[in-house]
Amino acid sequence: MIQIASSDDSFDILPTAQLGIQYILSEEGKYLRQQLLIALTEGDCLHTDEVQRLWSLVQEDIKPQKIFDLAFSTIRQISADSVASIIPSVASSR
């Protein structure tokens, strides 16, 4: 889908990425978030080859500073309670 969308010269992946980040960090995105983590860590190892493959699809469209700024502004928009509910506390992991 990324390759098809990026074939359009006017395509800007950042608004789509922002919506994706908002969804994944939302309560509705909890299942997808868990499935992504499971997929990336299946078999007690981090599957960096999948991450690298995804990165190769978007690296021309996303500059690290732009995606960092986008992710930071998206997280800022989400309430502190919402973020706290998806990030396990240090105390509960002991």
Cα separation, 27 vs 82, in Å, equals: 8
Question: pLDDT of 55-92, one tens digit each?
Answer: 787 777 666 777 778 777 777 776 666 666 767 655 45
pTM tops 0.75, yes or no? no
Question: pLDDT of 4-62, one tens digit each?
Answer: 666 777 777 777 777 888 888 888 989 988 888 888 787 777 778 877 887 787 777 66
Cα separation, 24 vs 87, in Å, equals: 12
24 with 86: CB under 8 angstroms?
no
Domain boundaries, the chain: 14-78
Nearest to 67 by CA among 30, 26, 87, 75: 75
